[in-house]
Amino acid sequence: MAPTRLESAEKEVRAALGPALQRFGPDYWRQQDAAKTFPTEFFDVIGEAGYFGTFIPEAYGGADAGARVAAVLVEEINRAGGDAASVNAQMAICRTLVLHGSDAQKQRYLPGVASVDIRFLTEAATEPDSGANMSELSSTARRDGNGWVVNAGKVLISFAAHTRLMILLARAEEGTTLFLLDLDEADERVQMHPIDLVANRMTSSLFIDNLRLPDSARIGPAGEGLACLMQGFVIRRVLAASEAIGNARFLLDRSVEYAKTRKTFHQLIGVNQGIQYPLVQAYAKVEAADLMRWDVLELVDRGEDAVPRSAIAKVLASEAAWETARAALTTFGGWGLASDYHIERKLREGTVYVFNNLLMNLIADRALGLPKK
Amino acid sequence: MAPTRLESAEKEVRAALGPALQRFGPDYWRQQDAAKTFPTEFFDVIGEAGYFGTFIPEAYGGADAGARVAAVLVEEINRAGGDAASVNAQMAICRTLVLHGSDAQKQRYLPGVASVDIRFLTEAATEPDSGANMSELSSTARRDGNGWVVNAGKVLISFAAHTRLMILLARAEEGTTLFLLDLDEADERVQMHPIDLVANRMTSSLFIDNLRLPDSARIGPAGEGLACLMQGFVIRRVLAASEAIGNARFLLDRSVEYAKTRKTFHQLIGVNQGIQYPLVQAYAKVEAADLMRWDVLELVDRGEDAVPRSAIAKVLASEAAWETARAALTTFGGWGLASDYHIERKLREGTVYVFNNLLMNLIADRALGLPKK
Amino acid sequence: MAPTRLESAEKEVRAALGPALQRFGPDYWRQQDAAKTFPTEFFDVIGEAGYFGTFIPEAYGGADAGARVAAVLVEEINRAGGDAASVNAQMAICRTLVLHGSDAQKQRYLPGVASVDIRFLTEAATEPDSGANMSELSSTARRDGNGWVVNAGKVLISFAAHTRLMILLARAEEGTTLFLLDLDEADERVQMHPIDLVANRMTSSLFIDNLRLPDSARIGPAGEGLACLMQGFVIRRVLAASEAIGNARFLLDRSVEYAKTRKTFHQLIGVNQGIQYPLVQAYAKVEAADLMRWDVLELVDRGEDAVPRSAIAKVLASEAAWETARAALTTFGGWGLASDYHIERKLREGTVYVFNNLLMNLIADRALGLPKK
Amino acid sequence: MAPTRLESAEKEVRAALGPALQRFGPDYWRQQDAAKTFPTEFFDVIGEAGYFGTFIPEAYGGADAGARVAAVLVEEINRAGGDAASVNAQMAICRTLVLHGSDAQKQRYLPGVASVDIRFLTEAATEPDSGANMSELSSTARRDGNGWVVNAGKVLISFAAHTRLMILLARAEEGTTLFLLDLDEADERVQMHPIDLVANRMTSSLFIDNLRLPDSARIGPAGEGLACLMQGFVIRRVLAASEAIGNARFLLDRSVEYAKTRKTFHQLIGVNQGIQYPLVQAYAKVEAADLMRWDVLELVDRGEDAVPRSAIAKVLASEAAWETARAALTTFGGWGLASDYHIERKLREGTVYVFNNLLMNLIADRALGLPKK
């Protein structure tokens, strides 16, 4: 609806994606959602198109196309009624390896991630008692000879049962430390139990009992795991914002289409300001969130601090998408609840983004300079 | 949490319900929801306790306990983590028969409804092209001899596959007319197709092809179907409000409990105003909606016009419940998405109530006297 | 607009007030506001009608009519376009004396307060560094012989320059202590400086330099000043809520009237849902706040704890009034800014009620049982 | 607070403005507001700095610096606690003359407008019965010989008593037509009556009784007045958005400063999330509105249609500023009401921007393509 000023690279992404998105339309995603399955076919098509290497240097088999391409990609997938979560994960999780991994780690794994050979879909960070506080883990990594012995209990780990690689956070003597866990090499010492969620995130809890890992599985210096991980957060927030914007635009597209064609009482429902105004308010906020997202990427390009602003982009986008879902329910009435119309699915997927208190704290601190307790 | 001033009758309902609600706890309802099944066991227990006759005169086997008892009942079921939709339907749908049915109809059916023998769970009103506008049906009832031939296409009919009786709206020569459809007597001329919804409402579309009905199946005068039906709307709105209030209170109870026991960063999350204030705002609105609901019932008791105020109660309650669900997501973070915690289920069930534009129009007209187009 | 169920006493108040409110219409109040003057004429008429003794026992010349009468009174004044702040103060401030004063204090002052002879309009509580925290005053009362020497610096004291009596909070050795300050007996040791506010609250800062007060000026036990004062807070919150509700209803009355008579583009603006819906939403919230207010008074009548619920009533009413003012601006457009239409004045007066964080904390603690830091 | 990426031209404006804004601080504006006076001294300083010619070609004495400079200027004035309305008017109203005036008109007046010699501060458009519908005027311009006879009744005309030039809309036979009214040449046939507003907009009603105007006073073709005027709306909305953003940033600056220095209960109020979160939410929205504003100017620069997006910018900015004012009231408590703190003044000035239904309609139509009645 709105003019979007994309550089040609991003325009190309949209054009290139078109056929895939047409092939895997909303009904494909409705079925994945209903069956709680991993969208393997779609995932492979996107991977074969080369997008998984978006953040991977060419030396390791990637395209190094950068965050704008990734942002367009996940937005477009969601805008077409899909769910970009798995693609987002495969593109972005590996950035920690790109930035902090050893050359041997990169050589071994990144080419496979860039192609569709190796799924690298998750970080095992959250713990039952940690909440979002990753600085106080009860999972431990103890040095043992020239390796490590890891004990961990993790929860809400997305795609855990569908990935080969994951990044594992554990507390070593030096502090939080990252490890690359190759599940092809793990045995029954790694246990998973599925956690059923409102959106199809294929989440599990994860228990690791005295697993030995070689020191070569460590990513970055011991004790600097959190710092390493946090370097990826700006891009992660931009991509989460992009997913939310894609969802919101799908909801807007559908709602506007419905409002322009559906009649009650002998007139199009879209003539009613009671339908129009919630859509307009939502639309205005989506457009604003969209600009903020690109603005963050400009800051990144210029090497400026984008941390607080990336938090703003995420907050604006998730709020805008939530408001859009509500406006869509108003537009569709009872049909908004029916899975055939995809509104309810996008509403459910939108729940993933709407708890942002930690980001609110970050903005208060970093953007406004308000005091902390 | 709040002082509630109930007459003794209502207190008794709460006390009497206790054991049943303990037996059928949130996990029972999570399972029904996941399997999309009708809660037969629970339904029967409530029926055996005599609640299905709440609006049925004693002469027809009911208890005639009245709307307050019904309101307490559905609220308590939802507040305990359940879903009162089926109980609500069984209690309230038959009111149209009580008010407008013939003595023969009442004699034949009401005693069975009051007990658990006959399910009377739905009205077939909504049509593909009518939206919420029930004054312009394309379903028809044509007089044929001393009976009728009915052709109908209906959508979003709750519990259609689980009920024996339903009220059917069709357009006769005289105008909208109600019929009592006994599905035990229908044949393949009545077809149903399930519609999958975000909440477990067991909804179907319904197609009726040249079905003959005797004139004794007609409820109320031909042409006055809408007027007859609308006499039930005040109570229906109060009960919908009560369901929403029950949901909101379940969400508040759980959120407060979680906020009082869950720690992050070494302190209870409930000390944070970022958790407290959304819960307080939601709580205040739920309490207000609660008062409005009782106020409507007082108007009803006094024989005053409660139509606009019943719309207000429904709007306030559904908005309060929606806001509460959002506050609960903020409180629970990622766990709010997990079906084990029941937050996401109540969020989904809350979608049923949040499109209220027709009620907004009604309030504008009837309470504020604003002009119409 | 809405049905209001008032006992006959309250109906009489409305009837009795009618002529006074017609005599002192919105334009009278616009002029007081513009000139920042005390509404002496109006104040005296209300006093002569006997309302100042609403909380004063008959033994001291009052009518002891109670909180419902007071609530109706301030609401009706505001609903007619007036500003009940001075009447509210004169009725309610003296309750502390009624509840905790000595018989001598009551004998001397209450009959004059009940009539229009003595203005008793304010409490000097707030201090430059205390914010709303009245438990840590820097104003002091030092025992000196059988009396006290008071030093105080107070800010934002309403009506200070228009009252004869005020209640003064100061910190004695025993803790916060209340004194009755008779400004007829004070000299240049009490200095006032006006503070200009957005609403016509006639506020001053107050500086007291070594003022001697006899012990007979003390109200209640030394050290228990805050406890004494807080006993009046439930009624004060109800009256503040009632003022806000009165303001909101004035705004609604005017907006609906305007929407029903004003045309643009050849049709009444009130047919537009863009005008209707904000008014409906505001109206629904005002009605809900209204019920909560009466509910608090019922709790008071039954001797139950009304503290948390009085906070809810105040929060709901002030939010509803603020939202109503915004809806009125939408309705009136540019004319909403013109003092001749009174919308902008009610908006300004509404600012007095909208900072409620302390009440939010109170509700979190007392109604929801959430933990404190 | 936020990084702002301005071209050097705009940075220079900010630097150049510094001394003037320091000289005319918030207290200067508080006094203008209290006395309802025109800020002559400030106005002249800005004019002498050359800013009045921002939209005037160099050939007519202007600087032709463009909309970005104007946007920065009005934002900075407001952000410093001032009120840019008069400066905004002097810069922007003359654009209609620049775009549609005759060379003679431009020669005669524009150099004086670019300097401080001629005030050109208003358009007389709004009529008592027209609302915002400028397509149906009752003011008339009748051809008479080679000139016109004008009869007009206009309301809510800003700065009418402080300007020499104004643009007058009247209905000629051909349709809405613009005239340039030079009040130095008008006589008692032009009457004005002040209209008191909540913000210091120095507004009047205007009555014109059989005023003769030469045809050389006409701007643009007869009948195309509305079209001519509307060409200025994109820039006008951007400047209104910029004013609102400036106001919001003033409120945020003050609120953050206060939250970082004010203590209650022995700690800075800014540590409370009940203070932080409303400021963070407001801040995020202000930043988003800011981006939308620059985005509109980029569209303008590229010659693309910016009409719907300019409406979005205005809506976002005015909503953000309104929300910021509310957050500032929460931060400041009672002091937010005191004119000495300037919060209440900015709240009042913000009322000017918050009725946007016509823009909502425009966005629904032009951006979303929703149907019209």
- Residue B274: which pLDDT band, with cuts at 50, 70 and 90? very high
Residue of B nearest to C365 (CA): B276
Average pLDDT over residues D240-264: 97
Q: Provide, as residue numbers in chain D, all residues whose Cβ is less than 8 Å from the Cβ of A295.
A: 291
| Average pLDDT of chain D, as a whole number | 95
| Residue % of chain A over a pLDDT of 90 | 90
Q: Provide, as residue numbers in chain D, all residues whose Cβ is less than 8 Å from the Cβ of A369.
A: 1, 256, 260
Q: Can you give the pLDDT at residue A371?
A: 97
Q: What number of H helices and E strands is found in chain C?
A: 13, 10
Query: In 3D, which of C129, C128, C118 has the Cα closest to residue C93?
Result: C118
Return the residue in A137, A195, A198, A271 with the most chain B beta carbons within 10 A, the one to mutate for interface testing: A198
Q: What helix, strand, coil percent values describe chain A, rounded to 5? A: 55, 20, 25
Average pLDDT over residues A331-348: 97
Average pLDDT over residues D265-287: 96
Helix/strand/coil for B75? helix
| Residue % of chain D over a pLDDT of 70 | 97
Residue C337 and residue D322: Cβ atoms within 8 Å?
no
Q: Can you give the pLDDT at residue B2?
A: 37
With b for 16 or more beta-carbon neighbours within 10 A and e for fewer, the A337-362 pattern comes to bbbebbbbbbbbbbbbbbbbbebbbb
| Average pLDDT of chain A, as a whole number | 95
Identify the burial level of D207 via C-beta atoms within 10 angstroms of its C-beta, where 0-12 means exposed, 13-18 middle and 19 or more buried. Answer: middle
Distance from CA of A147 to the nearest CA of C (A): 43
Query: In 3D, which of D70, D59, D162 has the Cα closest to residue D111?
Result: D59
Residue of C nearest to B373 (CA): C271
Q: Count the Cβ atoms, other than its own, within 10 Å of residue B117.
A: 13
Helix/strand/coil for B209? strand
* Cα B53 from Cα B47, distance rounded (Å): 8
* Cα A287 from Cα A298, distance rounded (Å): 17
Q: Can you give the pLDDT at residue A7?
A: 67
| Residue with token string 């309705």 | C331
Amino acid, single-letter form, for residue C331: T
Dihedrals phi, psi of C132, to nearest 5 degrees: -90, 5
- Residue D129: which pLDDT band, with cuts at 50, 70 and 90? confident
Q: Provide, as residue numbers in chain A, all residues whose Cβ is less than 8 Å from the Cβ of C276.
A: 274
Q: Can you give the pLDDT at residue C281?
A: 98
| Residue % of chain B over a pLDDT of 90 | 90
Compute the Cα dihedral for C199, C201, C202, C208 and give only its sign: negative
Q: Can you give the pLDDT at residue C3?
A: 37
* Cα C367 from Cα C291, distance rounded (Å): 18
Q: Can you give the pLDDT at residue D4?
A: 47
Dihedrals phi, psi of B251, to nearest 5 degrees: -65, -40
Q: Is A174 on the interface with D (CB under 8 A)?
A: no
Average pLDDT over residues C151-180: 97
- Residue C130: which pLDDT band, with cuts at 50, 70 and 90? low
Beta strand spans in B90-240 (E): 120-124, 140-144, 147-158, 165-172, 175-182, 190-195, 203-214, 218-219
**Cβ-Cβ contacts under 8 Å for B285 (sequence gap 6 or more):** B316, B319, B320, B323, B324, C288, C316
pLDDT at C330 over 80: yes
Q: Is A351 on the interface with B (CB under 8 A)?
A: yes
pLDDT at A4 over 60: no
Amino acid, single-letter form, for residue B362: L
Q: Can you give the pLDDT at residue C187?
A: 86
Residue B274 and residue D277: Cβ atoms within 8 Å?
yes
Residue D360 and residue A304: Cβ atoms within 8 Å?
no
Q: Provide, as residue numbers in chain A, all residues whose Cβ is less than 8 Å from the Cβ of B344.
A: 197-198, 348, 351
Q: Can you give the pLDDT at residue C132?
A: 59
Q: Would you mind telling me the total number of residues written for chain C in this entry?
A: 373
Compute the Cα dihedral for A201, A204, A210, A211 and give only its sign: negative
**What stretch of H or E contains C112?**
helix C103-114
Q: Is C271 on the interface with A (CB under 8 A)?
A: no
Q: Count the Cβ atoms, other than its own, within 10 Å of residue B304.
A: 13
C neighbour chains, 3+ CB pairs within 8 Å: A, B, D
In contact, B264 and A133? CB cutoff 8 Å: yes
Q: Is B315 on the interface with C (CB under 8 A)?
A: yes
| Average pLDDT of chain C, as a whole number | 95
Distance from CA of B276 to the nearest CA of D (A): 9
pLDDT at D124 over 60: yes
- Residue A135: which pLDDT band, with cuts at 50, 70 and 90? confident
Stretch among A133-137, A246-250, D25-29, D72-76 having the lowest mean pLDDT? A133-137
Interface of D with C in 58-117 (CB under 8 A): none
Return the residue in B337, B353, B362, B372 with the most chain A beta carbons within 10 A, the one to mutate for interface testing: B337
From first CA to last CA, the distance across chain C in angstroms is 44
From first CA to last CA, the distance across chain A in angstroms is 44
List the single residue in B298, B367, B371 with the smallest CB-CB distance to C268: B371
In contact, D357 and C275? CB cutoff 8 Å: yes
DSSP code, position D255: H
pLDDT at C96 over 60: yes
Residue A357 and residue B136: Cβ atoms within 8 Å?
no
Average pLDDT over residues D221-231: 96
Residue A3 and residue D372: Cβ atoms within 8 Å?
no
* Cα B151 from Cα B189, distance rounded (Å): 9
Which pair of structure tokens corresponds to residue C6?
């008032």
Average pLDDT over residues B13-21: 89
pLDDT at C2 over 80: no
Amino acid, single-letter form, for residue C20: A
pLDDT at B6 over 60: no
| Residue with token string 């956070």 | A169
List the single residue in D264, D326, D354 with the smallest CB-CB distance to C131: D264
Q: Is D371 on the interface with B (CB under 8 A)?
A: no
Residue of D nearest to B274 (CA): D273
Distance from CA of D9 to the nearest CA of A (A): 20
**Cβ-Cβ contacts under 8 Å for D204 (sequence gap 6 or more):** D157, D160, D161, D192, D193, D194, D195
Q: Can you give the pLDDT at residue C131?
A: 61
Q: Provide, as residue numbers in chain C, all residues whose Cβ is less than 8 Å from the Cβ of D26.
A: none
Q: Is C280 on the interface with A (CB under 8 A)?
A: no
Cite the DSSP H helix spans in chain B.
8-23, 26-35, 40-48, 67-79, 85-92, 95-100, 103-114, 225-230, 233-261, 273-301, 307-332, 343-350, 357-366
List the single residue in B5, B367, B373 with the smallest CB-CB distance to C283: B367
* Cα A274 from Cα A286, distance rounded (Å): 19
Cite the DSSP H helix spans in chain A.
8-23, 26-35, 40-48, 67-79, 85-92, 95-100, 103-114, 225-230, 233-261, 273-301, 307-332, 343-350, 357-366
List the single residue in D195, D329, D333 with the smallest CB-CB distance to C338: D195
* Cα D52 from Cα C70, distance rounded (Å): 57
* Cα B257 from Cα B273, distance rounded (Å): 16
Q: Can you give the pLDDT at residue B4?
A: 46
Q: Can you give the pLDDT at residue C323?
A: 98
Q: Can you give the pLDDT at residue A10?
A: 79
List the single residue in A274, A338, A355 with the smallest CB-CB distance to B195: A338
List the single residue in D271, D289, D363 with the smallest CB-CB distance to A371: D271
Q: Is D273 on the interface with B (CB under 8 A)?
A: yes
Dihedrals phi, psi of C128, to nearest 5 degrees: -55, -35
Amino acid, single-letter form, for residue B171: R
Distance of CA B62 to the CA centre of its chain: 20
* Cα D142 from Cα D170, distance rounded (Å): 9
pLDDT at A1 over 50: no
* Cα B262 from Cα B272, distance rounded (Å): 12
Q: Can you give the pLDDT at residue C6?
A: 57
| Average pLDDT of chain B, as a whole number | 95
Identify the burial level of B147 via C-beta atoms within 10 angstroms of its C-beta, where 0-12 means exposed, 13-18 middle and 19 or more buried. Answer: middle
Taking each helix axis as running N to C, give the angle between helix D233-261 and helix D343-350, from 0 to 180 degrees, rounded to the nearest 10.
160
**Complex ipTM tops 0.85:** yes
Compute the Cα dihedral for C331, C337, C343, C349 and give only its sign: positive
Q: Provide, as residue numbers in chain D, all residues whose Cβ is less than 8 Å from the Cβ of C132.
A: 264, 333
* Cα B269 from Cα B257, distance rounded (Å): 11
Identify the burial level of A242 via C-beta atoms within 10 angstroms of its C-beta, where 0-12 means exposed, 13-18 middle and 19 or more buried. Answer: buried
Q: Can you give the pLDDT at residue C109?
A: 98
Average pLDDT over residues C16-41: 95
- Residue D1: which pLDDT band, with cuts at 50, 70 and 90? very low
pLDDT at D133 over 80: no
Return the residue in C122, C155, C198 with the most chain D beta carbons within 10 A, the one to mutate for interface testing: C198
**Cβ-Cβ contacts under 8 Å for A237 (sequence gap 6 or more):** A296, A310, A311, A313, A314, A359
Q: Can you give the pLDDT at residue C265?
A: 77
CA angle (D347 as vertex; D345, D352 as ends), nearest 5: 100
Residue B274 and residue A347: Cβ atoms within 8 Å?
no
* Cα D226 from Cα B11, distance rounded (Å): 68
Residue A370 and residue D5: Cβ atoms within 8 Å?
no
In contact, D121 and D159? CB cutoff 8 Å: yes
- Residue B1: which pLDDT band, with cuts at 50, 70 and 90? very low
pLDDT at D14 over 50: yes
Which pair of structure tokens corresponds to residue D295?
């985005």
Is the model more confident about A129 or about C245?
A: C245
Q: Provide, as residue numbers in chain B, all residues whose Cβ is less than 8 Å from the Cβ of C295.
A: 291
